[in-house]
Amino acid sequence: MKTMHTKFAIMTTASMLALGAYAAHAQEQIRAISAFPQALAFSQSFQGFVDLVNEKGEGVVQITYAGGPEMFPPNQQVDAVRRGVIDMQYGPASYYLGTMPEADAWVGSTVTAAEARENGGFGIMQQAFREKLGVELLAHLDTGVEFHVYTIQEPRRTEDGGVDLSGLRIRSQPIYNAFFEEIGAIPVSVPVPDVYTGLERSTFDGSGWPIVGIKDLSWDRFLRYRIDPGVFQTDLAVVINPAKWEGLSDEAKAIIEEAAAEYEQTSYENFQQVISETDATVREEGMTVVELEDEQAAEFRRMAFESAWARMQAAGSEHYDALRSAYYPE
């Protein structure tokens, strides 16, 4: 009887040790969503980040890409992360300018994510995300994608080589309105799903949009003129719920941080290739590029970038000077 009890105790102890070892090595799971439909180039890029984490984190940590705006409205997704309804999210930081004016540092940035990590800008942005949105910032992906102004008809030119957009109704987003107004255009707020119909019916005269995705949405069927140079920069963040982040093992955190820094550079390089290919394709298909040169090009860019920094300054951000120095070195 004593022997049987001893054997049972040994077996129970061994089982508990085995279960403990299994638990210690069980993969930690993260559920992630995107602000964009999964078919768009930006969501496909986020999938690349997910794949990289899963490759590096096999047996330690895995991310499940659970969906896009069909799960939560894009401008409510970060709040869902803050509340722990979802673990991770990828999308524009500028959706939350009313709460975190520091998002304009990315809109008005002229440096890459890798450069911002080195000069301290990224660390300041992490602090802003924690304090004002209640989430942990992991990455600034897909940098280097600029914003362009497209028109249906050829834009008027000025005597000094600029463009005259006076009176043109241009589809916009709130973050670009001040710039559009400064160059004489009338910004029009139209949800992305309704833009194609609006262009088809000539409800407005053009649109602002990054060069990436212009063909995915088929807007290039109507937008036949593009004004260069491009301005602004993508502001796409990967964030995670703070409690979820703190609950991860040190090994899992290290894997995600390593993947984040690596993929920031990879996504930058990938999109430079996409930009080059898209530019060549739309030119071949008949899009005319209206190129501003020298002083006119410099002034066009200055007005765009300064509109973002002026908005942050007006909002009274305590990080204005440090962020401007890091993200908009002059």
What mean pLDDT do residues 148-167 have?
94
- The string over 68-104, giving b where at least 16 C-beta atoms fall within 10 Å of a residue's C-beta and e elsewhere, is bbeebebeebbbbbbeeebbbbbbbbbbbbeebbbbb
CATH topology of domain 22-144+235-272: D-Maltodextrin-Binding Protein; domain 2 (3.40.190)
The pTM score is 0.88
Using 50, 70 and 90 to split pLDDT, how confident is the model at 19?
Answer: very low
Question: Which tens digits make up the pLDDT trace of 39-82?
Answer: 888 999 999 999 999 999 999 999 999 999 999 999 999 999 99
What mean pLDDT do residues 13-26 have?
48
Q: Among 57, 121, 53, 55, which residue's Cα sits nearest to residue 90?
A: 53
By 3-state DSSP, what share of the chain in percent is helix, strand and coil, each rounded to 5? 50, 20, 30
What's the confidence (pLDDT) of residue 3?
A: 53
Q: Among 159, 157, 100, 171, which residue's Cα sits nearest to residue 133?
A: 100
Q: φ, ψ for residue 122 (rounded to 5)?
A: -65, -40
What percentage of the chain has pLDDT greater than the value 70? 92
* Bond from prior residue into 329 cis (ω within 30 degrees of 0): no
Identify which has the larger pLDDT, 27 or 193. 27
Sequence letter at residue 102: E
What's the confidence (pLDDT) of residue 23?
A: 44
- Is the CB of residue 233 less than 8 Å from the CB of residue 121? no
- Please give, one letter per residue, the 3-state secondary structure of 5-62: HHHHHHHHHHHHHHHHHHHHHCCEEEEEEECCCCCCHHHHHHHHHHHHHHHHCCCCEE
pLDDT over 70 (residue 137): yes
In DSSP terms, which residues pair with 207 in a beta bridge?
A: 150, 171
What mean pLDDT do residues 86-97 have?
96
Question: In angstroms, rounded to a whole number, what is the distance separating the alpha carbons of residues 240 and 248?
Answer: 11
Sequence letter at residue 167: G
What lies within 8 Å, CB to CB, of 58 at 6+ separation is 27
In DSSP terms, which residues pair with 78 in a beta bridge?
A: none
User: Measured between alpha carbons, how far apart are the two ends of the chain, in Å?
Assistant: 84
Q: Among 222, 218, 186, 215, which residue's Cα sits nearest to residue 201?
A: 222
For 147-231+279-327, which CATH superfamily applies? Answer: Bacterial extracellular solute-binding protein, family 7 (3.40.190.170)
Q: In whole numbers, what is the pLDDT of the chain averaged over residues? A: 91
Domain borders along the chain are 22-144+235-272, 147-231+279-327
Cα–chain-centroid distance for residue 302? 22
Between helix 294-314 and helix 320-327 the angle, nearest 10°, is: 150
Question: In angstroms, rounded to a whole number, what is the distance separating the alpha carbons of residues 140 and 14?
Answer: 46
